[in-house]
Structure 1
Amino acid sequence: MSAGDDRDPLRFAHYDPLDERRREALFSLGNGVLSWRASPPETARALGPQRPDDHYAGFYRAGWYDEAPRPAAPRQPGGEVTALGALVNLPDPFGLTLRLGDGAWFDLDGVERLDYRQCLEPRLGLLWRRLRFRLDGHELTLHEERFVSMAEADLAVLRWTLEASTPLPAVTLRATLDGAVENALVDRDRAYEGRRLQVHHLEGIGSDALIAAGLHAPERRLALASRTRVPGHSPRWETRRDGQRLVQEACIPWPSEGRLVLEKRVVVQVDDDLPEAPEAACAQVRGRLPDAPYEALRADHQQAWARLWADSPLQTPDPTLQRLLELAAFHVLQAVSPLSIGRDQGLPPKGWQEGYSGQIFWDELFAFPYLSTRFPELARNLLRYRHRRLDKARERARRCGLRGALYPWRSARHGDEETPPYQYNPLSCRWMRDNTYLQRHIGAAIVYDVWQLYLATGDEDLLAGDGGDLVLEIARFWASLAHYDEGLERYVIHGVVGPDEYHSAYPDATEPGLRNNAYTNLMAAWTLQRALDLLARLPAERASALRQRLAVAPEELDAWARIGRRLYLPFREDGVLDQFDGFQTLAPPPCSDLSADHPRLDWFLETRHDTCNRYQATKQPDVLMFRYLFGADELRALFQHLGYPLEEEAGRRTVAYHLARVTHESSLSKMICAGALVDAEPEIAWTCFCQCLRTDVDAPADSGALEGVHLGSLAGSLDVLQRHYLGISPGLDGLRVFPAPPAALPDIALALRYRGQRVEVDLRDRRVQVRLDPAATAPLTLVHAAGRTCLLPGEAWSVQP
């Protein structure tokens, strides 16, 4: 990416049915509550229940999971059954098409397309499409706009404007509400998915279509209302039911002015927001359908987005980079927004889509630095999701004979472990045992989130309240999981899996789990240190109250300090930090060029009855994660606290060793390297950053991008830009400014909040300037390589990296 590059990565100038599913995910719209894939309404089941697989009309409610029992692996013997939480594909209310006279129905895949444009406008929160086509010998132009309202949590709107330069025959309109939908987006997950909704009521009243449905759990209820409007006309709608689809049709003369407008307005509510009786629930959502003009609804929506952009400005003269950064921020704020506050929602890795069943992993770790310094209330709401499941995490630890809180690697509604027992390999058509539930490092990620929010806000109540509960109970877990090894004279942690999911057991082992995964052990030590630091920072009375609430005895604190100083890290004799005990004894990577175009390595090896567990090949570089998460000074202090000197030459060898063995088959891998390598390999870091931003934009049509955008990667790219390249990060003693911009990074300006004060950061002509907002109510301390600087409101300070 270079200044002057005017390509728009968020615009398509042609229609490609083979790429539609990926584009539908890339251009999905949301408001932190609802999520709507960008599937064309005229290719929905408006034309009938049997449609080609080029499109997928997904519509979702954040956090609305189903836990109906499913076979654990239908093609495996034994009849094992599991109940995994899966985000539910809601009824599709957006089906819309038309025909002229008795001609053929308008179908994007069936008409003669003369011109096609599609564009996402992140700053407006709009997706638009312009299509010029020929239908039954007549030329028409369709302009479509759609949005999921950032002003109203339960509202989505679709608008068509059709134009023709010559008179047309009478028009028959068809609108559908499809309740016969399934979860069927991800082919390899279909055994776990399928039909989830149970339709209780389906009704058409004039131009309104209503549906009430439920899930396996009787308390899970949904009601949806859709209204099809034809401004300036009052057509008579006829309704028929086709199974669990509602089909509404109306005939109107083609307007003499040559322009016809159609609108669909959709409202969704769930669970306790609804009365229990299906008919009453439908009546309630119908009453919430807005009567305001389309322009007013759109204006309210855009004003809400304008406020979000004003709180997170980011400008660069490079138009391509500008659009890519906007796309990243746009998708983060579509997954968690001000409308999410007060709702029980986490942050799924693919956004609110069917990828990974919409479950929650650790991806908020990559979003917290960005959210905490711009939208701390959104970050706090994500922590509440974790805190509500604290008792469940305590229960899981007790079942394992441990203390504290053991959070699951994958969670959904209840806080149970949601990792499927098997994963399907589409290359071999066999089922593979999934042991990634042993990723205990999820607890350290939650502590990292708490600490990032505290650094950005200085909120003592966070440490004394929910945040303190999380940090201390997770520290308690690590202390109980670690055990002392007499031979090493250090504490060790066994039976875990690191972020690199390609290694979950030793070759030919009968039990899963690894010994002393470097990332896990270091993060455990860091968590134990943060727990003690947290108590030391609180006033004595509040620290005592927290300890009493959690029954933390003095001897526990002594154990935390002891273990936190003596956890073992698997250094080799040459000073290279290994990924885990025994990694260096594995066979060399099975592919001579790990960056070559080949099938996913774990799938490919399994087709040969082999496994990644045998090889020094990683999906993502666990060891380099340290350099992404922590600044150089903090990382050096952490290693010194553990009694391991962090030697520069050994650090370079460690980086080179792990870079040579990474496949980058995780979407997070390039982003991690973009931040981790900024000092050691700045050119590689910049290349990884550019590739990371384009993960979904440049993805192949049949890649995982069709399941939802890679939200952790997009959020992490914003973090890399701020913390690693501009060098701006909140610290305990002030706002830290240690810039290291890559040579190819163009000028860029952004703003963030630190301890409630707005701070503007500007990279121009290779110089970084930090300015405290004139409206600030307190001075700002900057910590930098030359010492400290105190900024008064309106003052600026700059440095040449």
Structure 2
Amino acid sequence: MQEKAFDAVIFDLDGVITKTALIHSAAWKKMFDDFLKNYSKHKGIAFAEFTHKDDYLPYVDGKPRYKGVEDFLLSRGIKLPIGDPSDDTSKETVCGLGNRKNDAFNEVLRRDGVGVYPSTVQLMKDLRKQGYRVGVASSSKNCEAVLNAAGLMHLVETRVDGVVSVEMGLKGKPEADIFTTAADNLRCRYDRCVVVEDAVSGVQAGRNGNFGLVLGIAREDNYEELYAGGADIVVEDIESFGIEEMNQWFIHGLERDLWSISYNDYKPEKERSREALLTVGNGYFGTRGAMEEVDANTINYPGTYLAGLYNRLITKVADRIVENEDFVNIPNWLPISFRIDKGAWINMNEIKILSIRRVINFKNGLLERRLIVEDKFGQQTEIKSERFASMENMMLAALKYSLKPLNYSGRIEIKSGINSSVINAGVERYKTLNSTHLNILNEGFENDKLFVLVETTQSKHQVAVAAIFNVEINNVIESVNFEKIQSPGYVSALFGFDLQKDQRLCIEKIVSICSDKEDFVEDTLTSALNALRNAERFNTMLDKSTLQWDQLWNKMDIQIGGDRMAQKLLRLHLYHLLVSVSPFNEQLDASITARGLHGEAYRGHIFWDELFILPFFDIHFPEIAKSMLMYRYRRLAGAKTYALEHGFQGAMFPWQSGSDGREETQVLHLNPLTGEWGDDHSSLQCHVSLAIAYNIWDYFWITDDQDFMKRFGLEMFFEICRFWASKAKLNTQTERYEIEGVMGPDEFHEHAPDSLKGGLRDNSYTNLMVAWMFDKASQILKQFGLSLAIKNGFSQKETDFWSKIASNLHLVINEDGIFAQYDGYFGLKELDWNYYREKYGNIYRMDRILKAEGKSPDEYKVAKQADTLMTFYNLNKEEVDGLLDKLGYKLPEDYLQRNLEYYLARTSHGSTLSRVVHARLAALVNDHQLSWDLYRDALGSDYIDIQGGTTGEGIHAGVMAGTILIALNTFAGINYRNTLLHLDPFLPKKWKQISFKLRFKNTEYRFEIGHQKCRILADKLSSIVLQGNTLTLKANEWKDIECVKKSVN
């Protein structure tokens, strides 16, 4: 007997089981046409009939009755009172019209009875016979009557319909409530259930419910719409996808799906965000997932970025001179286009797209695309493309592009080249600034290769991009003959072929990308051309790159059982972290940017986001973590100069770091809502130096890399300590040290309301982390000895002074145990949050909203993200308790919960990092539902582009790493801040299991953690603390342990 891989099937009613969809459509049409005729006559406008395709399917089909009425009317610009479900059919309210339609439906039902789809009924019988559960979920309030009339009620174990929805207060499609309720009634996990739907809103509900299979039934020839809505499989009739096919999906298809994200439609308004998430890269370069046929325009933005490649430009804006260092968009290697019989070159934003599917495969970094387009002459062409950045050779990328005429024969010309006339235009708010960063030094052809050589205008780094081609027709290799076309900024090859209907033409484009920024590159163009001489064919290159990806995934993969979407998104985040920084970075002078190699936001600079990112690499790829720390070490001299320029000692690292480590932060900021310039005090976020110290300690603690600490880490850590010691000033009245002129992580507060001077005094996060840092300095000194400190220029007197400061720093704490975000915070005004939510909806950027109203966020208790609470994200609460005890502060036992409630209520989540931090803290105070809700939002923040377009400017690397670490540190319960690894799982309820690997103190551990049992494997004899009990692990022997069952809702 074959494996039973799923448990239940939940069917929609209309159009899936019964043929009532057409009755519904006819009833809707009669009701709406009657209404519209009267409405048009009354308003003196032309009557436009209600149609099945343009009105019923997009606005009504599958939705609760009154919701369908409301949505359709709004599509016509008509707004009626909602009314009440008891409204008479004569009333012109939403409910009245809905009831009018229902009367028409019932009249037809009584007269004609109910037709059924025999294949669906047979499947229901087979499912019940073989022990599978069967449910029906429908928006219809007539569901029970229809099932009874069809004689099918005996096959249905649970019915969740319009009547039940009203009784239980369930939301209608596309929300998943009716399907999840049906699955709950059947006591089946969502990931082991099938949802069968024929409406777009229905497949959207199935997707939103995170079901294991969403099966679309295309009764209306609406295959593409159902795929775009979220269906996994679409068939014309369920006869072609029965129990065996469902089982195979759960065994094989679902596993493949968990390694990818896909898009099955083309929505211009979402294209830039999708391009970011479809990026291919290898840590050396990243190329956005723009389509090959497009240049940069208002919809599409192809961009390729090299790690660490910056250029500085000056712009005159109004009466001001502004200098910016930008992350350079290098020549575009993607361009390929085609035309038929000397017609127009294809334009993806003008041609008719009949179908489209794009998939990024996390497992091997392959971006695949298949689409069918139709030109104005009705000629249909199938286009397939694949591309990847090699993880085997950092300089190489490959693209395979194929065409097949579907209903014609003709002359096909393909033009493919390299565009070096690119500028930086990926961020709307930067468009007033100069953006031409490249000068063209050379471009042309060398035998069968084409190339460009450019140089950045200020930093004077050369970049070469070269390409070579292979051609096949119907898998037969053709000679590579092309016409060479060259124009300023664009070099391309023109191929021409006479193709018959259904012949497939395939062109491979192998590309090399090289910069003289790297020490191992002697001659840029020669290196790029030489890389192509040794390049292999597309498939061979892909195989070799895949082997490297396999090794990376073997170290970092996290496997989630029971939560399909969480699994996909965690792998999405893992993939993009390795696109942004990889083992190649050991050879580069670069760190991870806040927005990856995926776009130009924040100008590709390095921020404190490393604090959220580095721990992931510490426990999976310590060599990458070290390379990121070495980026900072190579800029230590610049940090010391920066401190001296501001009157301090030691190392003050810049808030924004780029090519050489100078401060890249602007001192003026343009408010896009007011168009006015204002002072920008962001550079006062000196806590970035604390983040670097934290990362040095974390890396050392986890890896035990003593050589790094002796040669680099101690010096850098102690220079940061020296800076903060010089910044701390003794208040002789209180005998405590104060630190002023800083900003915390909350960027909404730059200065005291009554002060024009930037900066705040005694930011709690800063002072606590300074105390922590000085405490760790004592531990480092004890471990490595005074002689090493003296060798690096530090004395016993100086380190003793640090310890004195650590025990006497000033904090402002009120009688309720609430930390003041900074001295003076409690005197700020409260914000009317309900008022602003109702007025603006999206209030993430409350700072800009307040400034547009002539107010200042500095006057209010409003935070962009966690500030004081960040301390508890970085450190165990026991560590914070110890710091407070040393400082002589006594707080209530529940002070963490009080502070979380206080500050969470005053936070707008203007940073994607905000939810990550608060999810961690909510778990620490045992509010696990809140923790899960915040985590779920953070996990999907880039995928759904929660901030309304920012993902299109580049991913948020910090939140991606943060969600991975929450899965490990909070839900799996890993704690590596003690001498032994600690484990205390608290899994989300829907997570059946989590499995992963990590390295701690030179031991590799494997974990398989469920709700009641854990399995642990270590490659060396070691000990681990599980829920307070110390366990000994023998080398390479699995240990099975019972756990105390705990789970998040």
Q: TM-score, normalised by structure 1?
A: 0.93
Superposed counterparts of 1:535-614, under 5 Å: 535-538=781-784, 543-592=785-834, 597-598=841-842, 600-614=845-859
Superposed counterparts of 1:314-393, under 5 Å: 314-317=558-561, 318-352=563-597, 353-393=599-639
2:364 alignment partner in structure 1? 124
Residue identity in the other structure for 2:336: L
Contact 1:96–1:174 (CA under 8 A) maintained in structure 2: yes
Give secondary structure in 2 for the equivalent of 1:402: coil
Residue identity in the other structure for 1:153: M
Residue identity in the other structure for 2:558: L
The reply to whether residue 305 of structure 1 matches residue 549 of structure 2 is: yes
Aligned-partner Cα distance in 1 for 2:947–2:335:
24
The reply to whether residue 138 of structure 1 matches residue 379 of structure 2 is: yes
Aligned-partner Cα distance in 1 for 2:431–2:868:
34
Aligned-partner Cα distance in 1 for 2:521–2:551:
36
Q: CA 1:706 to 1:432, structure 2 compared with 1: closer, same or farther past 3 Å? A: farther
The reply to whether residue 282 of structure 1 matches residue 533 of structure 2 is: no
Q: Specify which of 931, 934, 941 is matched with residue 688 of structure 1.
A: 934
Shift of 1:190: 2.3
Aligned-partner Cα distance in 2 for 1:701–1:162:
37
1:48 alignment partner in structure 2? none
Q: Specify which of 959, 964, 977 is matched with residue 718 of structure 1.
A: 964
State the Cα deviation string for residues 713-739 of structure 1 (Å, max 9, x = none).
010111111112212122452112233
Q: Specify which of 642, 652, 661 is matched with residue 887 of structure 2.
A: 642
1:262 alignment partner in structure 2? 507
Residue identity in the other structure for 1:464: K
2:1024 alignment partner in structure 1? 782
Give secondary structure in 1 for the equivalent of 2:399: strand
2:723 alignment partner in structure 1? 477
Shift of 1:486: 2.4
State the Cα deviation string for residues 79-107 of structure 1 (Å, max 9, x = none).
3343x321100011211111111222222
Q: CA 1:744 to 1:481, structure 2 compared with 1: closer, same or farther past 3 Å? A: farther
Aligned-partner Cα distance in 2 for 1:658–1:788:
36
Contact 1:175–1:249 (CA under 8 A) maintained in structure 2: yes
Give secondary structure in 2 for the equivalent of 1:760: strand
Q: Specify which of 910, 933, 937 is matched with residue 665 of structure 1.
A: 910
Aligned-partner Cα distance in 2 for 1:445–1:435:
19
Residue identity in the other structure for 1:343: L
Contact 1:679–1:740 (CA under 8 A) maintained in structure 2: no
1:427 alignment partner in structure 2? 673
Which consecutive unaligned segments of at least 5 residues does structure 1 have?
45-50
Give secondary structure in 1 for the equivalent of 2:932: helix
Q: Specify which of 389, 408, 415 is matched with residue 174 of structure 1.
A: 415
Shift of 1:525: 0.8
Give secondary structure in 1 for the equivalent of 2:741: strand
The reply to whether residue 155 of structure 1 matches residue 396 of structure 2 is: yes
Superposed counterparts of 1:95-134, under 5 Å: 95-134=335-374
Aligned-partner Cα distance in 2 for 1:238–1:769:
64
State the Cα deviation string for residues 104-136 of structure 1 (Å, max 9, x = none).
222222222111111111112111111012234
Residue identity in the other structure for 1:25: A
- Superposed CA RMSD in Å reads 2.2
Aligned-partner Cα distance in 2 for 1:563–1:679:
29
The reply to whether residue 413 of structure 1 matches residue 662 of structure 2 is: no
| Stretch deviating more after TM superposition (303-312 or 121-130) | 121-130
Contact 1:275–1:281 (CA under 8 A) maintained in structure 2: no
Residue identity in the other structure for 2:271: E
Contact 1:188–1:425 (CA under 8 A) maintained in structure 2: no
State the Cα deviation string for residues 678-737 of structure 1 (Å, max 9, x = none).
132211111111111101111169521111111100101111111122121224521122
Give secondary structure in 1 for the equivalent of 2:486: strand
2:261 alignment partner in structure 1? 10
Aligned-partner Cα distance in 1 for 2:778–2:1013:
35
The reply to whether residue 463 of structure 1 matches residue 704 of structure 2 is: no
Q: CA 1:27 to 1:193, structure 2 compared with 1: closer, same or farther past 3 Å? A: farther
Shift of 1:768: 5.4
| Stretch deviating more after TM superposition (570-579 or 166-175) | 166-175
Aligned-partner Cα distance in 1 for 2:827–2:510:
61
Higher relative contact order (CA 8 A, sep 6+): 1
Aligned-partner Cα distance in 1 for 2:299–2:770:
46
Q: CA 1:127 to 1:117, structure 2 compared with 1: closer, same or farther past 3 Å? A: same
Residue identity in the other structure for 1:364: E
2:5 alignment partner in structure 1? none
Aligned-partner Cα distance in 1 for 2:707–2:519:
34
Residue identity in the other structure for 1:505: H
Aligned-partner Cα distance in 2 for 1:221–1:563:
48
Contact 2:311–2:459 (CA under 8 A) maintained in structure 1: no
State the Cα deviation string for residues 283-305 of structure 1 (Å, max 9, x = none).
44122114412110000111111
2:435 alignment partner in structure 1? 194
Aligned-partner Cα distance in 2 for 1:165–1:189:
44
Residue identity in the other structure for 2:791: R
Q: Specify which of 266, 273, 288 is matched with residue 37 of structure 1.
A: 288
Shift of 1:763: 2.0
Residue identity in the other structure for 1:204: F
Contact 2:982–2:1027 (CA under 8 A) maintained in structure 1: no
Q: CA 1:235 to 1:123, structure 2 compared with 1: closer, same or farther past 3 Å? A: closer
Shift of 1:446: 0.7
The reply to whether residue 751 of structure 1 matches residue 997 of structure 2 is: yes
Q: CA 1:268 to 1:433, structure 2 compared with 1: closer, same or farther past 3 Å? A: same
Q: CA 1:701 to 1:647, structure 2 compared with 1: closer, same or farther past 3 Å? A: closer
How many aligned residue pairs are there?
780
Shift of 1:165: 4.3
Contact 2:912–2:959 (CA under 8 A) maintained in structure 1: yes
Give secondary structure in 2 for the equivalent of 1:671: helix
Q: TM-score, normalised by structure 2?
A: 0.72
Give secondary structure in 2 for the equivalent of 1:145: strand
Q: Specify which of 295, 309, 317 is matched with residue 64 of structure 1.
A: 309
Aligned-partner Cα distance in 2 for 1:340–1:238:
38
Shift of 1:252: 1.8
Residue identity in the other structure for 1:301: S
Contact 1:518–1:580 (CA under 8 A) maintained in structure 2: yes
Give secondary structure in 2 for the equivalent of 1:379: helix
State the Cα deviation string for residues 174-221 of structure 1 (Å, max 9, x = none).
123211111111111223441110111121345532111112346411
State the Cα deviation string for residues 588-632 of structure 1 (Å, max 9, x = none).
125326766235222222222222111111000212212211222
Contact 1:140–1:163 (CA under 8 A) maintained in structure 2: yes
| Stretch deviating more after TM superposition (244-253 or 490-499) | 244-253
Give secondary structure in 1 for the equivalent of 2:514: strand
Q: Which has the larger radius of gyration?
A: 2
Contact 2:395–2:531 (CA under 8 A) maintained in structure 1: no
Shift of 1:56: 0.5
Contact 1:325–1:693 (CA under 8 A) maintained in structure 2: yes
Aligned-partner Cα distance in 1 for 2:1015–2:878:
21
| Stretch deviating more after TM superposition (574-583 or 203-212) | 203-212
The sequence identity of aligned pairs, in percent, is 29
Aligned-partner Cα distance in 2 for 1:193–1:678:
47
1:707 alignment partner in structure 2? 953
Give secondary structure in 2 for the equivalent of 1:191: coil
Q: CA 1:3 to 1:595, structure 2 compared with 1: closer, same or farther past 3 Å? A: farther
The reply to whether residue 24 of structure 1 matches residue 275 of structure 2 is: yes
Shift of 1:568: 1.4
Aligned-partner Cα distance in 2 for 1:770–1:690:
26
The reply to whether residue 514 of structure 1 matches residue 760 of structure 2 is: yes
Give secondary structure in 2 for the equivalent of 1:53: coil
Contact 1:36–1:59 (CA under 8 A) maintained in structure 2: yes
The reply to whether residue 623 of structure 1 matches residue 868 of structure 2 is: yes
Residue identity in the other structure for 1:32: G
Shift of 1:267: 0.9
1:246 alignment partner in structure 2? 491
Aligned-partner Cα distance in 2 for 1:401–1:796:
57
Shift of 1:237: 2.1
Residue identity in the other structure for 1:354: E
Which consecutive unaligned segments of at least 5 residues does structure 2 have?
1-179, 181-189, 193-209, 213-229, 231-256
Give secondary structure in 2 for the equivalent of 1:377: helix
Give secondary structure in 2 for the equivalent of 1:209: strand
